[in-house]
Structures are given as structure tokens and as C-alpha cells.
Amino acid sequence: MVIYVVKPGDSIYSISQIYGVSSAAIIQANGLTNPDRLVIGQALVIPLPSTYTVKSGDSLYSISRMFGITLTALQQANPQITNPARINIGQVINIPPQPKLGTIDVNGYAFPNINMELLQSVLPDLTYLSIFNYEVKPDGSLSTINDTPLIQAARAGGVAPMMVITNIEEGGGFSSELGSTILNNQAVQDTLLNNVVQTLQSKNYYGLDIDFEFIYPSDREAYNAFLRKTAALLKPMGYTLTTAVAPKVSASQPGLLYEAHDYPVHGEVADHVIIMTYEWGYTYGPARAVAPLDQVRRVIQYAVTAIPSQKILMGIPNYGYDWTLPFVQGSAARTLSNVEAVEQAARVGANIEFDITAQSPYYYYYSGGKRHAVWFEDARSIRAKLLLVNQYNLGGISYWTINRPFPQNWSYLGARYNTRKLL
């Protein structure tokens, strides 16, 4: 799989001719709904052909670079070429498949209202499907969600369905006070865990994902104790335990989001720890990359000192934001899918730029006399994040969420990595 960045004058046909692949293959790999409307700066994933016809100016070295394979691999695939310095225009050479970069765990969070056709298309690339979410109530009871269709689809597709519990208040957001009620009352915890076990068993879940956020710093040890208690109950029953934690860069990082998330304890107790490495650019903040690579790297560098690296699933955002400029405190950015971001760029006539430090695409445009900034993800930013998995020997990745289409992500992931399957 090659990533190509659209240049002025490009068309799907002209790009297909460069690589010797069909236009249909490029359209399918990227899920293009309007292939005649490309954007300058847009990233496209290009499937590798099995053969390539030599053109004027080609060399084995330039061909190897174009397809992202080593010169040695290209020579080994073409033993009939006795003099690598001499290849002829019109000569057909073999293109070897790119070796996979590893086998990883892939988690995808999904809301129950996900389009089932979209879900079916993503399941082949998932290890876990984490269904969001069962809200814990102050008495330890759980909200109800329509998760049965997703659980059945996941298991039919060889994907392990994960039950997610949160300290989200009904009709609201994550509640520190609700978290404190749960974590400091053993009777409530016992009720909660009984309800969790009943749900795991009756719904045929594979395991539990605990996503407690904005926990009071004073409840840190109570949260640790609850995790140990939960693990002691579930693991002998054969269930896995996953936790979701804030993106910390040090053990002592201050802030309500961070302090109660004790990385070493999560790493000790849980089977997997999902690090939410996104939301640097967020709804009520100034315009910037949602998951800038330099900041994600800082988090991972600390995380691997506190959590066994193979337990870590690095969070990847499947969305972008559209901010109105200049930023005004209290104003809200509009969320959009990565596909919608590119479609909007085409509609408003914007060129897509790429920030080297953040390894993220962005563009500006005007609407109603106001300047806008859009940051999102594309195949280039996904490639950069996946390379961190290899560099730090992580267990895998976790997408928030899979409810929005992102075809080129799944094309690239499937071409470069094997997804571990448990069922």
C-alpha cells in the first residue's frame, strides 16, 4: 500500500497510470464517492499491483521507492533481470507484496446506533468491539442499551465484544461525584459488579472495559482498589479486563483528568490499557491537531515506563474539527468525519496542507465572512501513529469511534498489519 498526495492536474485516471493499477482499485481503497473531485493535498492510498510496466526514466531503484519496497526485495522478485542497471521501456517486472509490519490488537469503540453495514465492513480489522456504554447509577444499577445486534455481529465476525461501563451521569457527562459514590461505597460496588457479571453472562460479552474519567484525585487509591476487586472477580471467570486512561506524560501530572489514573496499577491489574491519545484539539479549545504526533509520542514514552508495552492500546481519533476563527473562549468547534473534511475541502475550494510536526492534515477556508480551520486525520497521519506501535512495541491501537466511515484507514491498516483474532 502506497500513500500518494494529490497534485495540481491529477485525476484518478492519471494516478492509476503512474502506478499501473486500475482506477476502480483506487476508488474502492479510498471509498471515493466523487472520484472526479480530488483536492490538492489530499492523501490517497494506492494498492500495489502484482506487475509494473517500465516507463521512460525508470530504474529499479526508482521503482522500489515508488512502491515503498526495498531494492533487494524487488531484485529477488525478478531473477530474470541479470543486469539491474539495464531495464527496458515496456518491460514487465514483478512487484512483490509489502511485508506486514506486525500483528496487533485493534479495538474499536462503537455506539449502538452504528450503521450495521459500516460495522460489517470494519469487523475484519478488529480484535475487540467495545460497545459504548453502560452508565453506572449511584445505586450500582446500570442503564440499558440495545447492544444485542452488535454483540451478535461481532461474534459472527470473529470479534470479541467488550462491555463498557462509565461514570457518565444520565443526560450529562462524566461525573466526578458519581465516580466518588461508586468508589467509596462497598455495597454499591457489590451491586455494580453483580450487575456487570449478570450482563457479561446474559449478553455473551468477552470482557469488561472500565472507562471512569474525571475521578477526584482524592479517590485515586479507591479507584485502584476497585480495579483490583474487579479483576479478582472477573479473571477467574475467564473475562478480560480493560481500562481507559487519560494521556499522561508523567506520574505526577496535575489535573482532574489525570491524577486518579495510576498507570502502574492499571498496567498491573488490567489485561489491556487504552490510552486516550487524542483531544489536544477539542470542541471548546483553539484550533489544533486532534492527536498531534509529537504530543502522542510524549505520552507513549512515559506510558511504556509504567505499563507493560504489550498491554497498551494507543488511542486513535476517527474524526476532525472545524473551528471558526479567531477562537473565542466558550465557542464550539463542529465535529466532522475525516471523509467529510475532505469533501468539504473540495466543496469550498481549499487546498489541504500537512503539518510535519503534528503529522496531521489541515486547511483553511472562509464561510459567511469568517475564516475557518479544519484539522482531521488521513492515511499519512494514521501511518505516522502506527509507526509508534512498532517503535515502542505496543500491543495495538484503539479507535474512537468506528461510527464514522474512514475507508482509507482500514485499507492501509489491513495492507500493513495483521489483526489478532481471539474468536
251 shares its domain with 308: yes
What is the tens place of the pLDDT at every residue in 276-325? 999 999 999 999 999 999 999 999 999 999 999 999 999 999 999 999 99
Question: What is the pLDDT at residue 197?
Answer: 98
Question: What is the pLDDT at residue 40?
Answer: 98
201 shares its domain with 307: yes
Is pLDDT at 210 greater than 90 in this prediction? yes
CATH number at residue 229: 3.20.20.80
Q: Which domain holds residue 81?
A: 2-94
188 shares its domain with 64: no
Question: What is the pLDDT at residue 84?
Answer: 87
Q: Is the peptide bond before 133 cis (omega within 30 degrees of 0)?
A: yes
Is pLDDT at 21 greater than 90 in this prediction? yes
Question: Quick one: average pLDDT of 115-144?
Answer: 98
Question: What is the pLDDT at residue 357?
Answer: 98
Secondary structure element (H or E) that encloses residue 396, with its range: strand 396-400
Give percent of the chain with pLDDT exceeding 70: 100
Listed residue (207, 202, 220) closest to 165, CA to CA: 207
DSSP H helical ranges for 167-219: 176-183, 186-203
Question: Quick one: average pLDDT of 372-389?
Answer: 98
Question: Quick one: average pLDDT of 406-422?
Answer: 97
Exposure of 337 in the CB half-sphere (CA atoms within 13 A) = 12
Instruction: Count how many domains the chain has.
Output: 2
Question: What is the pLDDT at residue 346?
Answer: 97
Q: Is 213 a catalytic residue?
A: yes
If you average pLDDT over every residue of the chain, what do you get? 97
56 shares its domain with 75: yes
165 shares its domain with 37: no
Is pLDDT at 333 greater than 90 in this prediction? yes
Question: Quick one: average pLDDT of 363-369?
Answer: 96
Domain ends where: 75, 94, 113? Answer: 94
Listed residue (140, 170, 160) closest to 242, CA to CA: 160
283 shares its domain with 312: yes
What is the tens place of the pLDDT at every residue in 22-38? 999 999 999 999 999 99
Domain ends where: 30, 62, 94? Answer: 94
34 shares its domain with 176: no
301 shares its domain with 337: yes
55 shares its domain with 128: no
Question: Quick one: average pLDDT of 132-149?
Answer: 98
Is pLDDT at 356 greater than 90 in this prediction? yes
Domain ends where: 65, 94, 123? Answer: 94
Question: What is the pLDDT at residue 200?
Answer: 98
| Predicted confidence band of residue 337 (pLDDT cuts 50, 70, 90) | very high
Give percent of the chain with pLDDT exceeding 90: 99
270 shares its domain with 147: yes
Cell 484518478, residue? 12
Question: Quick one: average pLDDT of 362-367?
Answer: 98
73 shares its domain with 110: no
Asked whether 135 and 166 are in contact (CB, 8 A), the reply is yes
Q: How far apart are CA 88 and CA 86, in angstroms?
A: 7
Amino acid identity of residue 400, one-letter, is W
Which three cell numbers mark 9?
492536474
Q: How far apart are CA 247 and CA 299, in angstroms?
A: 6
Is pLDDT at 85 greater than 90 in this prediction? no
Check 135, 213, 259, 377 and give the catalytic one.
213
CATH number at residue 61: 3.10.350.10
111 shares its domain with 53: no
What is the 8-class DSSP label of residue 25?
A: H
Amino acid identity of residue 242, one-letter, is T
Question: Quick one: average pLDDT of 217-241?
Answer: 98
Question: What is the pLDDT at residue 339?
Answer: 98
What is the tens place of the pLDDT at every residue in 234-288? 999 999 999 999 999 999 999 999 999 999 999 999 999 999 999 999 999 999 9
